[in-house]
C-alpha cells in the first residue's frame, strides 16, 4: 500500500478539496497509513497530472478565492482495482523495540523496564485510538464513512462498514499483542532480578 492508494480510496467516497482530503485522511485512513500534510497535497497534484484524479476549481469563502476539488477518474478507479489484485510486497523486518529487547543485557534493569513501560503506553494509545474508530464505524457516526455510504448503494453499506471494522480490529489485536509482550518482558525482568543477574 502507499499514500497514493490511501488517497485514491479516500476520494473514491466522493469529491474532496485538498483541505477536506487532509481532514478526512487524518480522521480515518491516516490511522492505518501515516502521512504528513506536506506529502498529501503534492501527491494529490501528481495524481491529477497523471489522470487518476480530475481537478475542478470551486469557490471558497466570500471572496474571489477558489479551491481545487478532486474527483476520481476512470483511470483512478482502475488503479484501485489493480492495487487490490496485486500481492503485497512485505518489507524486511525493522523492529526497533524487539531489537532493543534482544540486547537488554547492555543496559540496566531500570532502563529496560522504562522502555517496556513506554512500549505499553504507546500501544495502549494505539489501541484506544483504533477502538474509537471502530466504535464510530459500528455506530455509523464516522463522518468519512457517512460520506462514503452516502455515495454508494444502500445494499453495500453493511459490507463496506464490515471491511472498515475488520481493519481496525486488526489494529486492536496487534496492539494488544504488543502490550502483552511488553508485560511479559516486565515479568521476565522481575524473575531475573530475583535470581540475580550477570553476563555469561
pLDDT of residue 200: 42
Using the Cα atoms of residue 158, residue 160, residue 166 and residue 171 in order, give the sign of their dihedral.
negative
Which of 58, 84, 85 minimizes the C-alpha distance to 69?
58
Across-strand partners of 67? 58
pTM: 0.85
**Nearest one of 126, 83, 119, 125 to 104, comparing CA atoms:** 119
Provide the pLDDT for residue 66.
87
3-state secondary structure of 142: coil
Per-residue pLDDT at 196 exceeds 70: no
Write out the three cell numbers for 6.
Answer: 490511501
SS3 94: coil
The domain 3-85: what is its CATH number? Answer: 1.10.10.10
Q: Looking at residues 165-170, what average pLDDT do you find?
A: 98
Q: What is the mean pLDDT of residues 180-186?
A: 99
Amino acid at each position: 500500500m502507499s499514500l497514493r492508494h490511501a488517497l485514491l480510496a479516500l476520494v473514491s467516497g466522493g469529491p474532496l478539496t485538498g483541505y477536506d482530503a487532509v481532514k478526512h485522511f487524518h480522521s480515518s485512513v491516516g490511522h492505518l497509513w501515516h502521512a504528513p500534510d506536506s506529502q498529501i497535497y503534492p501527491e494529490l497534484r501528481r495524481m491529477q497530472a497523471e489522470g487518476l484524479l480530475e481537478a475542478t476549481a470551486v469557490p471558497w469563502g466570500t471572496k474571489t478565492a477558489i479551491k481545487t476539488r478532486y474527483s476520481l477518474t476512470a483511470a483512478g478507479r482502475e488503479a484501485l482495482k489493480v492495487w487490490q489484485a496485486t500481492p503485497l510486497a512485505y518489507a524486511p523486518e525493522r523492529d526497533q523495540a524487539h531489537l532493543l529487547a534482544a540486547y537488554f543485557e547492555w543496559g540496566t534493569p531500570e532502563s529496560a523496564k522504562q522502555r517496556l513501560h513506554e512500549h505499553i503506553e504507546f500501544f495502549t494509545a494505539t489501541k484506544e485510538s483504533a477502538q474509537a474508530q471502530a466504535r464510530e464505524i459500528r455506530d455509523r457516526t464516522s463522518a468519512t464513512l457517512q460520506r462514503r455510504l452516502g455515495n454508494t448503494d444502500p445494499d453495500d453499506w453493511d459490507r463496506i462498514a464490515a471491511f472498515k471494522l475488520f481493519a481496525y480490529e486488526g489494529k486492536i489485536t496487534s496492539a494488544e499483542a504488543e502490550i502483552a509482550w511488553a508485560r511479559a518482558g516486565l515479568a521476565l525482568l522481575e524473575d531475573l532480578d530475583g535470581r540475580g543477574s550477570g553476563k555469561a
